[in-house]
Amino acid sequence: MFKGFAAFLARGNVLDLAVAVVIGGAFGALVTALVKDLLTPLVAAIFGKPNFATLHFTINKAAFLYGDFLNALIAFVSIAAAIYYIVVLPAQKLVELRRGHVEPTMTACPECLSEISVAATRCKFCTAVVKPASSPAS
């Protein structure tokens, strides 16, 4: 039973996930500190409120800390933007570079706009004669 569990933990994807969670937590703490210590005071200085995190309103002696929520919202948007621009966008560019230029295999019929093969000489939907976009390999 322990050997199966050890084999499960030794899989690459489990270890990668564990590393990602730890790094993600550290990155989240870093961005939260950035928002709390730099961005929030900058926003507060612009709008004239020196301590943005303590903004609140009270209803029936219950305090609603919307300033703290705004801090969390700014932190979330900052983390999402950083992940997109640092991880997702470069990964998409890398995939595009690896694929290279791919020739299209389908085109639109000039008569009915249905999708047909680029080598077709007649549309299979409306039977219109079409000029092949590229000459088929001989």
Q: At a CB cut-off of 8 Å and minimum separation 6, what does 105 contact?
A: 117, 118
What is the tens place of the pLDDT at every residue in 18-63? 888 998 899 888 887 887 788 777 877 787 766 667 788 999 999 8
Rounded to two decimals, the pTM is 0.51
CA-CA-CA-CA torsion sign (95, 98, 102, 106): negative
What is the tens place of the pLDDT at every residue in 103-112? 889 999 999 9
Q: Where are the alpha helices (DSSP H) in 35-65?
A: 40-47
Rounded-to-integer distance, Cα 89 and Cα 83, Å: 9
Rounded-to-integer distance, Cα 36 and Cα 52, Å: 9
Q: What are the structural domain ranges in the chain?
A: 2-99, 104-138
Task: Give 2-99's CATH code, choosing from 1.10.10.10, 1.10.1200.120, 3.20.20.70, 3.40.50.300.
Answer: 1.10.1200.120
Q: Which of 52, 77, 54 is nearest to 65 (CA)?
A: 54
